[in-house]
Amino acid sequence: MRAEAIIFDVDGTLAETEEIHRLAFNETFVRLGFDWYWNRPLYRQLLDVTGGKERIRAFVAGHEPPDGARALERVAEMHAAKTEIYTQLIADGAARLRPGVLRLIGEARDKGVRLAIATTTSLPNVEALLQAAFGAPASSIFEVIGAGDIVAAKKPAPDIYRYVLDELRMPTFACIAIEDSRNGLDSARAAGLPTLVTPSVYTNHQTFPGAMAVVPDLDTPPVSLDTIAKWRAADSGW
């Protein structure tokens, strides 16, 4: 059965954006006077926590950095500054879509497959990336965008996928999710969605039990609507 809707994650799935997020966090710390620096190994660990504000709080709780108490009082300000820096980096061309993403989205649009987004990143981040990648507003490509704090519980909770499914008014069996992380996979699976995983540079150490398929990217091998239908047919869980 061919999917009637594809629900994409954003960071690490549409584009390798996590490194840009890390750079934006570090620039924010400098701008706001925090003597913090998140290197790549540390950021890989922090990505186990979804959501930027939640990640700051987890860092304070787990690492007891200098000025931690002050940071907790300024989480919203820090996150807003980080979003501003990130969106400017994206507008300046810091990220490209991952291999095969543009082709699969084009095929889906040509064949009337509905497109949606389910992400924990904030809406301005989504809009900046898609404007830079497509030269068009996000809403002109994706019918439903579930982003940021639109639901209280973030991935791996299924809430964001359930929100998107409700907005699409579609049953789970008619949709698939595409994710890059274990948190994302667990979120989509908990919502009842067959899920294709394309691990990113920050998640390629993870395992993905229950995924419909795991491939390096959407061009390895070339993933089409027919490919997805064959994977679904071969997966006894669907």
Catalytic residue positions, numbered? 9, 11
CA distance 31 to 201: 27
By C-alpha distance, which of 83, 82, 43 is closest to 62?
43
Helix (H, G, I), strand (E, B) or coil at 96: coil
Q: Would you say 10 and 97 are in contact if contact means Cβ atoms under 8 Å apart? A: no
How many CB atoms within 10 Å of residue 131? 16
**d(Cα 127, Cα 91) in Å, to the nearest integer?**
10
* Alpha-carbon span 154 to 147, nearest angstrom: 10
Residues 107/224, Cβ–Cβ less than 8 Å: yes
Q: How far apart are CA 20 and CA 2, in angstroms?
A: 34
Q: Exposure of 75 by Cβ count < 10 A (0-12 exposed, 13-18 middle, 19+ buried)?
A: middle
Q: What is the CA radius of gyration of the chain?
A: 18
Cβ(8)–Cβ(218) below 8 Å? no
Identify the DSSP state of 144. E
Which of 222, 110, 141, 168 lies closest to 176 in space, CA to CA?
168
